[in-house]
Homo-oligomer: A and B are copies of this chain.
């Protein structure tokens, strides 16, 4: 491809609304343009990258035995009502009425559609397992689209759904997808960590997110340097620490005027925050719960929601607090029990430790509060309800955990029978008995992968693409001005094309400095310079964009030149191949 008949609209300045490297660089390198909030157009260079990513995803999915489909984006409300998600999906789902007043949505995910489609095609256990996928446009009406294509409102997703006779088969496909995902990300040049994740409103039982560690990540990971444990902080178990010195103290009431927050109270009474009791009073789905946590801990709402099977969780309002005799800021053991109020105790609390707690009176706390004196620990629910944090012991080996931000690029779920039940998808087993199927689902954000690679592969000059998804593998920069010189460069270009090299010849009528900067900004893995040295002495300089290492060789013999280029490309490919092979 010649740059003069291509479109390379690079810009010098960062766009005003861009705060992260990938967003800035995608705009500056002319890969995308913003059309509206959270909506991006892909320009030719950007689309080449996106298509290369899609192809890698497709190749690996096909190799895993999955079958590619393409389903409508518009999906009728009926099927969402059948699964119960029409109301649950909330404002993130774009809803649209057609001219006949039928309600539809722009599919944010396709469990329902694939269930309806696959159901009549699977009748016997012999038709299972089956893993179906598509690579297609998805829509989510994000309240705050941001970071360019990382969190946008319209994006390309690879979504797959597998159907199984039993859990063993589901687990086999789940493991195969795990392997397939690791291979895909390795081929894209992405270093990912699979972490145990909360499965959100997908209704699943087990799930893992594929995370790329990055300071711009919207998720927080917990990592253990010692045993290699990795988790999403939302799902990392918090295990008991023994940092509290055993202590004896009689219960007594102290005046704590205006000291409502844990930190205020701890400071006021000169105790550590972890020596205080935090009480969180919540309403969920029309019912009520009160949770006791160690003072220095935050409630993990997902853990609580999962335990309660709750859809919505919100703090109690004043009238609700009053109803249960609770006083905001001063709640502690000892208020009147009610059969309408569930009491839960975080499992890291010590039943016999004398905590500081609210006295259930305004401006008063109690010291020396032992939970065991108020609650029967053989009956009361104790469970892990607090949020993990950096420095917590690894749930696996006890070593201190690190916390890192991460970008989620893929997600695999064991859905279980939620959708099979809703859509009554059953097959005859080998004994002729109707058996409800079980399901898995597996997603990859294609555009997000593109941006995440840039987050990992950029320097002060711009992007350096992994060779597997570079828009062109080689960029040829020439400074020829005369017809004769242009013809000489043209011969080199033609010989590269004939050798099957994926090359862009920057033949634009621009200065060499400008072209160099463009090639480094866009990030072609290999650059050939055919400058003065070429015109005078047939010398060609080969640059490895990532390392910025240069090598000057003679360009007299096209064969030697091509072998030099191919040798560099091979070594770049080998890096990715080696990582992929390691996975198996």
* Interface check A154, CB cutoff 8 A: yes
B41 and A141: CB pair below 8 A?
no
B113 and A41: CB pair below 8 A?
yes
Q: Which residues of chain B are within 8 angstroms of A69 by Cβ–Cβ distance?
A: 41-44, 47
B96 and A41: CB pair below 8 A?
no
* Interface check A568, CB cutoff 8 A: no
In the complex, what distance in Å separates the CA atom of A130 from the CA atom of B121?
Answer: 47
A266 CB, min distance to chain B CBs, angstroms: 41
In the complex, per-residue mask of A41-70: 1 if CB is within 8 Å of any chain B CB, else 0: 111100100100000000000000101111
* Interface check A17, CB cutoff 8 A: no
Identify A98's interface contact among B5, B9, B47, B94, CB under 8 A: B94
In the complex, what distance in Å separates the CA atom of A214 from the CA atom of B68?
Answer: 32
- The chain B residue sitting closest to A48, CB to CB, is B68
Identify A33's interface contact among B65, B67, B117, B137, CB under 8 A: B117
In the complex, per-residue mask of A119-141: 1 if CB is within 8 Å of any chain B CB, else 0: 01100000000100000010101
A540 CB, min distance to chain B CBs, angstroms: 28
Q: Which residues of chain B are within 8 angstroms of A113 by Cβ–Cβ distance?
A: 35, 41
In the complex, per-residue mask of A1-23: 1 if CB is within 8 Å of any chain B CB, else 0: 00001110100000000000000
Of the stretches A73-81, A198-206, A287-295, A395-403, the one at the interface is A73-81
Per CB-CB distance, the 3 closest pairs between chain A and chain B, nearest first, are: A39-B72, A42-B70, A96-B96
In the complex, what distance in Å separates the CA atom of A296 from the CA atom of B94?
Answer: 52
What are 17 sample pairs from A and B whose C-beta atoms fall under 8 A apart?
A35-B71, A35-B76, A35-B116, A36-B74, A36-B75, A39-B72, A40-B72, A41-B72, A44-B68, A47-B69, A47-B70, A50-B70, A72-B154, A73-B154, A91-B99, A96-B96, A98-B153
* Interface check A245, CB cutoff 8 A: no
* Interface check A168, CB cutoff 8 A: no
- The chain B residue sitting closest to A116, CB to CB, is B35
In the complex, what distance in Å separates the CA atom of A67 from the CA atom of B43?
Answer: 9
In the complex, what distance in Å separates the CA atom of A65 from the CA atom of B2?
Answer: 11
Q: Which residues of chain B are within 8 angstroms of A39 by Cβ–Cβ distance?
A: 72, 74
Q: Which residues of chain B are within 8 angstroms of A94 by Cβ–Cβ distance?
A: 74, 96, 98
* Interface check A583, CB cutoff 8 A: no
Q: Which residues of chain B are within 8 angstroms of A44 by Cβ–Cβ distance?
A: 67-69
In the complex, what distance in Å separates the CA atom of A120 from the CA atom of B10?
Answer: 12
* Interface check A336, CB cutoff 8 A: no
Also in contact, A141 and B99, with CB within 8 A (given A65-B5, A117-B33): yes
In the complex, what distance in Å separates the CA atom of A106 from the CA atom of B35?
Answer: 14
Q: Which residues of chain B are within 8 angstroms of A95 by Cβ–Cβ distance?
A: 96
A449 CB, min distance to chain B CBs, angstroms: 15
B137 and A71: CB pair below 8 A?
no
In the complex, per-residue mask of A245-270: 1 if CB is within 8 Å of any chain B CB, else 0: 00000000000000000000000000
Q: Which residues of chain B are within 8 angstroms of A154 by Cβ–Cβ distance?
A: 72-74
In the complex, what distance in Å separates the CA atom of A143 from the CA atom of B143?
Answer: 33
- The chain B residue sitting closest to A117, CB to CB, is B41
A121 and B9: CB pair below 8 A?
yes
Pick the most buried of A98, A117, A139: most chain B CB atoms within 10 A of its CB: A98
In the complex, what distance in Å separates the CA atom of A98 from the CA atom of B144?
Answer: 12
In the complex, per-residue mask of A484-497: 1 if CB is within 8 Å of any chain B CB, else 0: 00000000000000
A41 CB, min distance to chain B CBs, angstroms: 5
Identify A137's interface contact among B7, B41, B73, CB under 8 A: B73
A2 CB, min distance to chain B CBs, angstroms: 10
Identify A41's interface contact among B42, B70, B91, B130, CB under 8 A: B70
Q: Which residues of chain B are within 8 angstroms of A106 by Cβ–Cβ distance?
A: 96, 106
In the complex, what distance in Å separates the CA atom of A137 from the CA atom of B156?
Answer: 12
B143 and A99: CB pair below 8 A?
yes
A447 CB, min distance to chain B CBs, angstroms: 10
Restricting to A381-406, which residues have a CB under 8 Å from any CB of B?
A: none
